[in-house]
Amino acid sequence: MPEKSSTSVGIDFGGTSVKLGVCRDGELLALDTPIITADFNGPAALITEMAARVAKLRVQHPEIASIGVGVPGLVDFEHGFVHILTNVPGWKHVPLKAILSEKTGLPVVVENDANAMAYAEFRYGAARGLNNIVALTMGTGIGGGLILNGQMYRGSGCAAGEIGQMSIHCDGKAGHYGNLGALEKYTGNREIAEHAVQRYAEANVIKTIEECTPKMIADAAKAGDDIARQIWQEIAEWLGTALASIAWLLNPDAFVIGGGVAQAGDLIFDPLKRKVQSMLSTVVWERLQIVPAKFSNEAGIIGNASLAADAIKA
């Protein structure tokens, strides 16, 4: 692993916007204004805009030596080929690396967004210096990225890390693929909100889905709301079951957790640690850290830039 890296552009391609920044050694040197994804009709126009933005950034930073792009979907990392982005119309079978590289003359790396987040935490974040890391991003869905034996682990079809689809209950609620007990169906933001509405209703408190975001439940718990505290305890039981299973399988150094749920701080991390410890042997538990992600909005930019910088050094 190179300790010093060159300057790169990191591109965080989301369903709503495309964020771009210039990084070196995990430091954000410049941040561009986001591209609004919907303003560009299809891959060709959007990639042309990405290339124009890179050209602009190179005026200030002529030392830029590579580009890393993270995308919300399935990619072929080796070829930088986007199979499909479910939430971005028109993105199917796009040779993103080839096109962007041709337009900019720079080496390009294309990665899944959850993997890029994991890489940012591994290289410069909460899990820096550790060898075996499981990173989770908790939002509407639950994504994951794995660093194993000090390397990004992508799996045989670049589809590894789908922690939200793992089962915590063999007869439980069906996930998107008919997979019973899918973690996402218990601890995705929408499912947490639905569960909270129900728990409040049981106590004759009427709340709407919109009033039960992770932040709102955290604020309520901090204000002394016992129902809200109980909800965090339940989230910890569900999430902890999945993390303990992963720990038995992989004996990792750390779980790094990002996203709305993680922002509840000790409200989630305290019961989560207790739950995971209660499910593990001493040997597996004693090496394990469960920590919040260091990076939030900028994780994608930093992770993708770092992947690109390390790839050209390797």
- State the residues that interact with a second copy by CB under 8 A: 74, 83, 131-132, 144, 146, 148-149, 151, 153-163, 165-172, 177-181, 237-238, 241, 244-246, 248-253, 278-281, 283-284, 286-287
CB of 70 to a second copy, least distance (A): 18
218, two tokens:
């955290």
- Please identify, using beta-carbon distances, which residue of 97 and 275 lies nearer to a second copy: 275
- Residues 267, 239, 178, 192, Cα dihedral to 10°: -10
CB of 54 to a second copy, least distance (A): 30
122, two tokens:
């591994």
Which candidate, 137, 294, 274, places its Cα nearest to that of 214? 137
Q: Mention every residue, 6+ apart, whose C-beta is less than 8 A from residue 267.
A: 218, 221, 222, 229, 232
CB of 180 to a second copy, least distance (A): 7
- Please identify, using beta-carbon distances, which residue of 51 and 146 lies nearer to a second copy: 146
- Give the Cα separation of 134 and 263 in Å (integer): 18
Alpha-carbon Rg for the chain, nearest whole angstrom, is 20
CB of 65 to a second copy, least distance (A): 26
First to last CA, the chain: 8
- Please identify, using beta-carbon distances, which residue of 229 and 287 lies nearer to a second copy: 287
- Inter-CA distances, 133 with 100, 105, 146, 264, 290, Å: 30, 33, 6, 21, 10
CB of 283 to a second copy, least distance (A): 5
- Please identify, using beta-carbon distances, which residue of 51 and 168 lies nearer to a second copy: 168
- Please identify, using beta-carbon distances, which residue of 186 and 295 lies nearer to a second copy: 186
- Inter-CA distances, 79 with 18, 97, 242, 288, Å: 21, 7, 32, 34
- Give the Cα separation of 248 and 104 in Å (integer): 45
- Inter-CA distances, 251 with 8, 152, 154, 167, 282, Å: 33, 16, 18, 19, 11
- Please identify, using beta-carbon distances, which residue of 29 and 148 lies nearer to a second copy: 148
- Please identify, using beta-carbon distances, which residue of 146 and 261 lies nearer to a second copy: 146
CB of 46 to a second copy, least distance (A): 24
CB of 38 to a second copy, least distance (A): 27
